[in-house]
Homo-oligomer: A and B are copies of this chain.
Amino acid sequence: MDMISELVDANRILFHQRIVDAFGHVSARHPQRAERFLLARNVAPGQVTAADILEHRVEDGEAVMADPPRLYLERWIHSEIYKARPDVMAVVHSHSPAVLPFAVAKGARLLPVCHMCGFLGSADGSGPPTFEIRNTAGDASDLLIRNRELGAALARSLGAGRVVLMRGHGSTVVAESVRLAVYRAVYTEVNAKLLLQALPLGEVQALTPGEAEATRIATEGQVDRPWNLWKQLADAGAGAQA
């Protein structure tokens, strides 16, 4: 299936671009069966091959096959978002290094500040929400989305958005396609790095909601350009990181 090959590429690109390391995962809704999604078994993203991709059920987050290999501990991130958001066709969960500070520092806001990152915008000009797992799991949890209830709480926090930060954990990004989800995951990191460097210089000028929406539409029409470049780099890198 072409989608499996696309998903393997997404895993390798996200690893090569340093969005995921030994941890993190990317999934795609099944192109023919909307009640299923494709996700690797429990393996580091940079090592995923087509044989590792398993069909999972949106309903309960479990693998379709009987007696599956070890699965990702947090597969309910994916299943509950697909359930709540019929428009979402791909999900990336990562701990990318520049985004995490915004998920750790109270009140930090990951506002879109450059034209490649308009997708971080929203109508009210706030940045992506932050999911606080303590509100659901209490203050002694392992922070993992390890069941349906927690996945559903995360999906509620994401709401109709494209990106949700997860306190002390990382972020989850959604999109209408695998390529767009990868683009957004990479550029969420780019915007975060930029903000980390701009904030000490003075008052940061975020994109207006109108600019965010206009730039989002303009840049996302170019998504194949970075995808093709990243794929070529990941292929050439032979498993290393950029």
Given A114-B168, A115-B168, A229-B22, CB of A101 within 8 Å of CB of B143:
no
The answer to whether the Cβ of A207 comes within 8 Å of any Cβ in the partner chain is yes
The answer to whether the Cβ of A51 comes within 8 Å of any Cβ in the partner chain is no
Size of the chain A interface, CB-CB below 8 angstroms:
75
Name A98's contact: one of B115, B197, B233 (CB within 8 Å).
B197
Question: A100 and B142: CB pair below 8 A?
Answer: no
How many copies altogether? 4
The answer to whether the Cβ of A194 comes within 8 Å of any Cβ in the partner chain is yes
Question: B215 and A101: CB pair below 8 A?
Answer: no
Question: B236 and A239: CB pair below 8 A?
Answer: yes
Closest to A221 in B: B73
Question: B241 and A232: CB pair below 8 A?
Answer: no
Q: Which residues of A contact B (CB under 8 A)?
A: 21-23, 42-44, 46-47, 73, 95, 97-98, 100-102, 104-108, 113-116, 118, 139-144, 167-170, 190, 193-205, 207-211, 213-215, 217-219, 222, 225-226, 228-230, 232-233, 236-242
Q: Which 10 A-B pairs have the closest CB atoms?
A: A140-B210, A105-B201, A22-B226, A101-B198, A142-B214, A115-B143, A142-B218, A105-B202, A108-B201, A101-B197
